[in-house]
Amino acid sequence: MAAHGDDLKVTQGVKDWVGRSIPRFEDAALLTGRGHYLDDLGVPPGTLEAAILRSPHAHAEIEAIDCTAAKAADGVFAVVTGADVKALTSSLVVGVKAGIECWPIATDRVRYVGEPVAIVVASDRYRAEDALDLIEVRYRALPAVVDPLAAAAPDAPVLHPGANGNVIGERVFRYGDPEGAFAAAAHRVRVDVRYPRNSCTPIETYGVVAEYDPAEGAYDVLANFQGPFSLHPVMARALKVPGNRFRLRTPRDSGGSFGVKQAIFPYIVLIAVAARIAARPVKWIEDRLEHLAGSVSAANRVTTLEAAVDSDGRIAALAWDQLEDCGAHLRAPEPATLYRMHGNLTGAYDIRHVKVHNRIVLTNKTPTGLNRGFGGPQVYYPLERLVQRIAIELNLDPLEVIRRNLVPAEAMPYRTATGALLDSGDFAGTLEAAVAEGQLAALQARRDAARTAGKHYGIGFAAVVEPSVSNMGYITTPLTPEERRRAGPKNGAQSTATVSLDPLGAVSVQVASAPQGQGHRTVLAQVIADALGLKPQDVRVTTEVDTAKDGWSIASGNYSSRFAPAVAGAAQIAALQLRERLARIAAAQLNVPAAEIVFADGRVATRSNPDNATPFSRIAAAGHWAPGTIAAEIGQTIRETVFWTPPQLTAPNEADEINSSLCHGFIFDFCGVEIDPMSGAVHLDRYVTMHDCGRILHPAMVAGQINGGFAHALGAALYEEYAYAADGSFLSGTFADYLVPTTMEVPEPIILHRESPSPFTPLGAKGVGEGNCMSTPVCIANAIADALGLAEIDLPATPAKLAAHIHPSETARPGRPQPVARPGKGERVLFGEGRAQVNAPPDQVWRMLLDPATLEAVVPSAHGIEKIFDTYFRADVTLGIGPVKGRYRADIELSDLDPLRAVTLSGSAEGALGFGRGSGRVKLEPNSGDGTIVTYRYEAAIGGKVASVGGRLLDGAAKLIIGQFFSALAAHAGGGKQRSGVIGRLLRLLRRKA
């Protein structure tokens, strides 16, 4: 990295590289297109490409899969279905005891839109996708459950027949005396919250290159997996090989992960099996449609939180009721989202009595997994909304309520009621500093002025503890103490780092962390340079992980903000241990005691006589060139691997107390928002975010983490939602509907700092990358609630939602009937009605409706209409709007026949672009003259790809097509004017049948 050396202004005698914003070693490659991303790397000769057929249904039995045509297609090497995967693997481990399995591909039924159903392996991705269209799957639709409360109801359709309902985990916890505290409380204040589904959607999607060596019985996989490597044994067990026959490697660079690339692991299993069946290496790169619909999501949660409060606003007790929606399968390490914050359920507050009722429910949505903030937003949203409600209901200043409840500085380290050990910090002092430096008083004056001018302006606050370095033991909290006793203790956060010296004395560092853009190589170089008296550019860091060669543990990987506090600390320990031995070699050469040796400026010198020195490289190389001269008690000085786990991370105890994380940063945010009275859009006027993340290793990267987390959080607050219709159709299938804020929408927050080093980490650092995902959504929501005087507000706070509180209520249109009742929020069911004038008497129209020849005539693209019986037809039809065309298999049924007067047309259609079903009542009335007036009312549901990617246009398209059917009918009967060409599109009518 010589290029960097020239850029670095190296000052002789600088004591510490850590704490300075040196240029990142990663950037030259990344900014000049030389990043080593998975998709850019070479693959073994003969590598094939995979494409995945995914379910268009939220819930359906798979009655049959016919792969004959796909297997025969040009360039296809294998078609893999659930049965094939089941034959070669076992179910992925499920984290609760509920009698359910977790397969990476549908085996007998599909449970969410986007679930893998089959994999085609072909010579290239184009041919693989061509073959996907040739796979015939026959589904039998089942009722879907989307809402977590509905899914938890006793009579809900059950996703996994082996389970006793959809609630697959339930635990009640008590800490202190919550009942007594509530009984004695002057006030009870409560919030009800539905936290939505969203995700951090990295630019780079999942990618896997897998190979199977039949001679060795071993899998070799390259994937942009981010960890935790506790999933390595999960994958090895699923693939039915010992861990040493499942080699997993990660590339150098990542196009972002934010937790999301944890959930690639089911795909690693799938592609590994596909490679085994195809007997060739197989590569799969997830595309954006797959990623949004089928990869992973943060968990949505329904929470009721109640506080026992005294008249001063002091909170004596909390009662949590959390219903966690983990989607269709419980994938490891879930239900961790629900338990990652378990030690922190009291946030930044000193609250001694806590009651918790936790339930985990499965629904017909994408399975959940790691996501920036993991569990934090879901906890802090109700907690900080509650604090605002306490202030309002007790007529107190919200800031004062926060102040009165913060954990006092003198209590540090502080054990929370639920078991976390808050390591350090002066929360109250940090808050006051933020109020002063962030100029809260000026913001309040702005609010007052804006309100005087009639504007909707509000201020919100949030105080948050940001946990980092997860205790691997917390994932056993959902088990009862007795279940844990049987399973054996799980705890710790084993971090790994290796420092090596080569024959020229150059230093290399390797960590098992899989960076996602956090600048591991730069920070590690700073840390090691400080330890060994070198310059950062003297240190070469590699971050590719190879489970066959590297030191790693189940805690390895890049998650829970563990790099700076744990991984960089482990690297420092390795370097210091090596330095200690090198000092003894140098001491012998320089004839001084080892305690006299200092490492500085690339030299090893004696403290009292700096001229008595030798180059670092000479001492460092000694282990290679002259091991015989090194005293036996010093040992080798070539490579030092350190495993570090903090003693504070113990397993959950008998009282279910769990120190779920090692470090706890503190964040205090406040912001001012103004709501546009016409559009309801939120303008973020000023956002102040104060962080205490312990010792700062690289200020610019800390700022980068805060800005990035803030942008994600702003998306969660105002824009982003993985939305599902009531029938389980996925509605956010492209970035036109899943709205990620761009640079135009993200203002720059004002970032402030305090530094309270953690006493528990080698460098004093704590995590910082996730905190704003925890604090910012609720801070913005509190400001909006303040602006509009709302007691309840759920995210995302979209303009249409907020405008409903501002706009005058709409009166029905004067002189017209009430509009047709609208379906509920998010319903994908379409309703409509219309009429057509036909120049033929009702009896003739009636005969036409019952005649398949009519269908053939008005749907020119119908091929081979088949009359199954008198009132039941089947046809292949080509349907479309504009250029969007697809071929569908349609079933049409006539029922409720009221001859010459009315008939119900029901139908369904299924094709590569999706499916639809619906029904409509058609009525015939003679008009004056010899004609007929045909009126129709229909309801229709559409799912699959068209619903996922075309939601914005769907209603209009359906209306168009159904209307076209009846104008075509009218034209066929000799009435109305019909433009040529339009009938051809008349298409979907058949699937939704008007």
Partner 1 sequence: MKPAAFDYVRAESIEEALDVLRQEGADAHILAGGQSLVPMLNMRLAKPRIVIDIMHLPGLKRIETGGGMIRVGAAVRQRELERQADLGTQQPLLAAALPWIGHAQTRNRGTVCGSVAHADPSAELPLVLVALGGEIELRSRRRSRRVAAATFFAGMMSTDRKDDELVEAVRFPMARSGAGYAFREIGRRHGDFAIVACAAVVDAQRAQLAVGGVADRPVARQLPLPGDPALEDALDAFAWDLDARDDLHATATYRRQLVRQLGRQTLEEAARCRA
**Which CB, 634 or 884, lies closer to partner 1?**
884
Smaller CB distance to partner 1: residue 810 or 870? 810
Contact 907/992 with Cβ under 8 angstroms? yes
Nearer residue to partner 1 within complex by CB, 519 or 680: 680
Q: Given the complex with partner 1, which of 891 and 939 has the nearer CB atom? A: 939
Query: Does residue 802 contact residue 675 with C-beta atoms inside 8 Å?
Result: yes
Output the 3-class SS for 201-241.
CCCCCCEEEEEEECCCCEEEEEECCCCCCCHHHHHHHHCCC
Q: Which of 381, 439, 425 is nearest to 775 (CA)?
A: 381
Closest approach, Cβ 328 to partner 1, in A, equals 21
Pick 239 or 731: Cβ nearer partner 1: 731
The answer to whether 679 and 785 are in contact (CB under 8 A) is no
Separation of alpha carbons 111 and 362, rounded Å:
10
Cα 322 off chain centre by? 19
CB of 673 to partner 1, least distance (A): 17
Alpha carbons 89 and 270: distance in angstroms, whole number: 9
Considering the complex, state which of residue 265 and residue 719 has its C-beta at the smaller distance from partner 1: 719
In angstroms, rounded to a whole number, what is the distance separating the alpha carbons of residues 858 and 972?
7
Shortest Å, Cβ 799 to partner 1: 7
Host H or E run for residue 587: helix 568-590
Q: Is the dihedral of CA 57, 62, 68, 74 positive or negative?
A: positive
Query: Rounded to the nearest whole angstrom, what is the least distance from the CB of residue 297 to partner 1 in the complex?
Result: 16
Considering the complex, what minimum distance in angstroms separates the CB of residue 908 from partner 1? Answer: 20
Q: For partner 1, which is the closer residue by CB, 618 or 801?
A: 801
- Minimum gap (Å) between residue 51 Cβ and partner 1: 8
**Closer CB to partner 1, residue 714 or residue 845?**
714
CB of 636 to partner 1, least distance (A): 52
Alpha-carbon distance 474 to 337, whole Å?
10
Query: 259 or 914: whose CB is closer to partner 1?
Result: 914
Q: Kindly state the smallest distance separating residue 331's Cβ from partner 1, in Å.
A: 25
DSSP secondary structure letter of residue 134: T
Q: Look up tokens 């290399």; give the residue.
A: 508
799-806 helix and 771-788 helix, angle to the nearest 10 degrees: 20
Q: How far is the CB of 802 from partner 1 (least distance, A)?
A: 10
Instruction: Give me 730's structure tokens.
Output: 């996925």
Task: Please report how close the Cβ of residue 954 comes to partner 1 at its closest, in angstroms.
Answer: 8
The CB density around residue 535, as the number of other CB atoms within 10 Å, is: 18
Mention every residue, 6+ apart, whose C-beta is less than 8 A from residue 674: 450, 455, 456, 457, 682, 683, 685, 787
In the chain, the amino acid numbered 718 is L
- 3-class SS string, 807-838: CCCCCCCCCCCCCCCCCCCCCCEEEEEEEEEE
Cβ-based nearer residue to partner 1, 933 or 982: 982
CB of 40 or CB of 448, closer to partner 1: 40
Closest to partner 1 by CB, 610 vs 860, is 860
Binding site for partner 1 (CB under 8 A): 125-126, 129-130, 133, 287-289, 678-681, 719, 723, 731-732, 736-737, 739, 741-742, 744-745, 798-800, 803-804, 807-808, 810, 813, 816, 822, 881-886, 912-913, 945-946, 949-957, 959-960, 979-982, 984-985
Of the two residues 180 and 956, which places its CB atom closer to partner 1 in the complex?
Answer: 956
The CB-of-37 to partner 1 minimum distance in angstroms stands at 18
d(CA 430, CA 869): 77
Q: Cis (ω within 30 of 0) for the bond into 228? A: yes
Question: Which runs of E-coded beta strand occur in 271-390?
Answer: 282-285, 300-309, 315-325, 353-361
Instruction: Determine the Cα–Cα distance for residues 232 and 248; give it in Å rounded to an integer.
Output: 8
- Least separation, in Å, of the C-beta of 160 and partner 1? 29
> Are 840 and 973 within 8 A, CB to CB?
yes
Q: How far is the CB of 955 from partner 1 (least distance, A)?
A: 4
Q: Report the C-alpha gap between 158 and 229 in whole angstroms.
A: 32
Q: Between residues 785 and 913, which has the closer beta carbon with respect to partner 1?
A: 913
Beta carbon of residue 125, minimum distance to partner 1 (angstroms, whole number): 5
Name which of 539 and 961 has its Cβ closer to partner 1: 961
Residue 384 in tokens: 């900080």
Q: How far apart are CA 906 and CA 82, in angstroms?
A: 32
Measured distance CA(958)–CA(965) in Å, rounded:
11
Beta pairing, strands 639-644 & 282-285: unpaired
Cα–Cα distance for residue pair 915/476, rounded to 1 Å: 42
Please identify which residue in the block is written with the tokens 């693997």.
89
Name which of 856, 982, 978, 992 is nearest 936 in CA terms.
Answer: 992
- The runs of H, that is alpha helices, within 678-748 are 699-714
Q: Give me the least distance between CB of 788 and partner 1, in Å please.
A: 15
